[in-house]
Amino acid sequence: MHSHDSSILDNPEHKQVADMRAVLVGHPNVGKSVLFNALTGKYVTVSNYPGTTVDVAQGTGRVRGHLVEFVDSPGIYSLVSHSEEEKVTRSLLLQSPGVLIQVADAKNLARTLSLTFELSELNIPMVLCLNMMDEADSWGYRIDAERLSEILGIPVVKTVATTQEGLEELRKSLFQAAPPKWKNSYPPEVQRAIRNLQAELPDKLRFISALLLQNHTPPEDFPLLPPQISGRIAHCLENIRRRFLRPLPAIFIESRREQAALVLAEVLTSPAAPFSVPAGRGLQVLGQWCLRPWPGYLIAVLALWALYEFVGVLGAQIAVDFLENTVFGGTVNPVLTRAVHLLVPWPFLRDMLIGDYGVFTMALTYAFALILPIVTTFFLALGFLEDTGYLPRLSVLLNRAFKIIGLNGKAVLPMILGVGCGTMALLTTRILDTKKERILASFLLALAVPCSAQLGVIFAMTAGLSGSVFALWLFVVVATFLGAGWVSSKLLPGAPAPFLMEIPPMRLPQMKNLLTKVASRLKWYVWEVVPLFIYGTLALYFLDALGWLGAVERFCAPLITGLLGLPEKATEAFLVGFLRRDYGAAGLYQLQRQGLLSLRQSAVSLVAITLFMPCIAQWFMSVKERGLKVTLAISGLVIFYALLVSAGVNQILLALGWS
């Protein structure tokens, strides 16, 4: 058996006490996270995998007196890397995983075995966990786990993660795990290519030869590959691939599928018709309807409306209004203000804590009064959509529409949630497969997706104006979304990822599992995101104390008055809009009510404030997710485009005689 390098995810605390490491791996939506929570209990840490925005959860659990460190890897379809999640999982498996637990949907055994055969080539001690056995049994599937274990040479355990059935047997199987004895059989020309590549690799790295042949990523992406031979390996790979008329990954996939079919014939007995829907099962019928144009689109509209009402109205408006005005505005901040005045004698420090840019009055109020209720309702809604199995169906249904702007169906969730809160919408761009798609979605969210709080003020402004103002605003925003998306998709480097989506059966979510998932995500928010608000607020405080914010306002005033034709007082509204989008729109609304904005100026200001910079919370989230360099580039493009389009609207309206 080969030896692996030490993992870059080693946790010093775990390293001192853990007797074993076990990595859970498998397709999306097979119950990995539910099993992980059951195996680890409450001792869980969630953090980004180094160099990525992909979350990896780690936790410890007791198994037969031994402390085992469990790692919940991102869901994958294959070790052939198309997405950042697949690259992360591959890196985890190549770096000292200890024991590998493949979690599988027992109803999709053919697909499961294809991944099992691929994982077997890594020569890692494995356990195959056939999860969702209750659903498999109800569908008429009968799996001979003992025979399958004999064929593969690894323990095969049946479980039901939601009820923890088979969990104790799974724990015991960790000490019986072994490298699979199964050996894949490929066409002779592929076998020769593998041997040729193995001749170039050191002995301890020959196990990755088949993996290297299938991946389109450079050899440098493989952490185990010595740098001094990476160039020679790349040359060898290129020569091998040129000799094949068909893509090598396709040949590997077909070979594994053929072998899976042979094994399936031995271990799967009395099955229902493959992928059929048992008669009389209302949820499964509903699942089929969700994938059809009719009534699928109607169901999608109702689901998205419910999502907006729950997150955008209940979370972003009702809960935020209560927490911001009643809890923090009426109780928390006044108490903290009095306490700071009594305990802190230095004005500079007092202002840092309770001033306009104070840690208490701005950072913590933003984090817990404005964003936390949105985060909580969003995580509840997302968990519900995940656990019911509707989210993949929605993505499939809307995939064709999103191709227009260079995205796929997975982008529907960030874009719809952006209407509720752009900050949380930006977080959900993690579900997109490629860096290109995540940057494109982040750009569109910053540019052309107004949040619900801002929309409320915009609708109030347009209510008292001519209907042509609202029509103009809507046309510019929709045209920007479609046009900027299409152009950006052509200019951004990189190919779109193939749209692969596992379609799980529809099911009723269990409240305990849903709340556990939400609690884990809220813990991440408190530890990872809240500090960003504090750091950003401190930066704004020092900029204000140094007089730089006032200088920015004076610098921007000529642009606002000359280029956009707005009154000078509108400058403050745009700067405040960076702190909160609805505050900026509210400032313009106040100018309109005071009679300081003409019809033309109202139309221009509506377009400008919508396309202008996102709020500071969304900006901080962008820095965390995309990095400072990408965020600055997006910010620059957004400001340039907003000024250009708004100035163009101003000139067109002047030419049309609008006063």
- The pTM of this model reads 0.64
196/131 same-domain check: no
pLDDT at position 278 over 50: no
Upper half-sphere CA count for residue 613 (Cβ side, 13 Å): 22
2-16, 175-189, 308-322: which is most confident: 175-189
Query: How far lies 374's CA from each of 221, 311, 410, 417, in Å?
Result: 37, 6, 21, 10
The pLDDT of residue 25: 92
**Better pLDDT: 427 or 500:** 427
Dist. CA 105–CA 136, nearest whole Å: 8
Which among 197, 218, 250 is the end of a domain?
250
Torsion sign, CA atoms 46, 47, 49, 55: positive
Provide the pLDDT confidence category of residue 271 given band limits of 50, 70 and 90: very low
Q: Domain of 102: which CATH number?
A: 3.40.50.300
Please, are residues 628 and 433 in contact by the beta-carbon 8 Å criterion?
no
- Total domains, the chain: 2
The pLDDT of residue 180: 93
Q: Is 354 within the bounds of a domain?
A: no
165/245 same-domain check: no
The pLDDT of residue 276: 41
158/241 same-domain check: no
| Sequence-distant (≥ 6) Cβ neighbours of residue 334 within 8 angstroms | none
Q: Is 491 within the bounds of a domain?
A: no
- ∠ CA 618-619-625, rounded to 5°: 85
Domain range for 130 is 12-176
Provide the pLDDT confidence category of residue 570 given band limits of 50, 70 and 90: confident
Out of 397-401, 500-504, 575-579, 614-618, least confident range: 500-504
DSSP H or E segment with residue 63: strand 55-63
The pLDDT of residue 265: 87
The pLDDT of residue 15: 44
Provide the pLDDT confidence category of residue 51 given band limits of 50, 70 and 90: very low
The pLDDT of residue 586: 67
Bridge partners, residue 130, by sequence: 104, 158
Percent of the chain with pLDDT over 70: 86
156/216 same-domain check: no
Q: Is 213 within the bounds of a domain?
A: yes
Q: What is the DSSP string of 195-256?
A: HHHHTTS-GGGGGGHHHHHH--S-GGG-TTS-HHHHHHHHHHHHHHHHT-SS-HHHHHHHHH
Please, are residues 87 and 221 in contact by the beta-carbon 8 Å criterion?
yes
Q: Which of 483, 310, 281, 504 is closest to 394 using CA atoms?
A: 504
Please, are residues 23 and 98 in contact by the beta-carbon 8 Å criterion?
yes
pLDDT at position 11 over 80: no
119/207 same-domain check: no
Q: What is the DSSP string of 23-38?
A: EEE-STTSSHHHHHHH
- ∠ CA 416-484-428, rounded to 5°: 30
Out of 225-234, 304-313, 513-522, least confident range: 225-234
Which among 231, 250, 269 is the end of a domain?
250
The pLDDT of residue 274: 42
246/121 same-domain check: no
The pLDDT of residue 527: 79
120/58 same-domain check: yes
Q: Is 202 within the bounds of a domain?
A: yes
Provide the pLDDT confidence category of residue 173 given band limits of 50, 70 and 90: very high
pLDDT at position 272 over 60: no
The pLDDT of residue 457: 67
**Better pLDDT: 405 or 126:** 126
The pLDDT of residue 20: 86
134/214 same-domain check: no
pLDDT at position 196 over 70: yes
The pLDDT of residue 641: 92
Please, are residues 544 and 357 in contact by the beta-carbon 8 Å criterion?
yes
20/72 same-domain check: yes
**Better pLDDT: 30 or 460:** 30
Cα 189 from chain centroid (whole Å): 40
pLDDT at position 70 over 80: yes
**Better pLDDT: 317 or 39:** 39
Q: Is 391 within the bounds of a domain?
A: no
pLDDT at position 98 over 80: yes
Pairing of strands 55-63, 66-72: antiparallel
152/60 same-domain check: yes
533-548 confidence digits (pLDDT tens): 787 778 878 888 888 8
**Terminal CA-CA length for the chain:** 80
A 10 A CB-CB count for 658 gives 20
Q: Is 324 within the bounds of a domain?
A: no
Q: Is 554 within the bounds of a domain?
A: no
171/91 same-domain check: yes
**Better pLDDT: 587 or 342:** 342
Which among 123, 143, 176 is the end of a domain?
176
163/62 same-domain check: yes
pLDDT at position 6 over 50: no
**Better pLDDT: 363 or 120:** 120
Dist. CA 437–CA 402, nearest whole Å: 11
Average pLDDT over residues 631-657: 90
Please, are residues 125 and 110 in contact by the beta-carbon 8 Å criterion?
no
The pLDDT of residue 16: 44
643-652 confidence digits (pLDDT tens): 999 999 999 9
The pLDDT of residue 146: 92
A 10 A CB-CB count for 259 gives 18
Q: Is 594 within the bounds of a domain?
A: no
Average pLDDT over residues 622-642: 89
Out of 55-64, 71-80, 282-291, 440-449, least confident range: 282-291
Provide the pLDDT confidence category of residue 582 given band limits of 50, 70 and 90: low
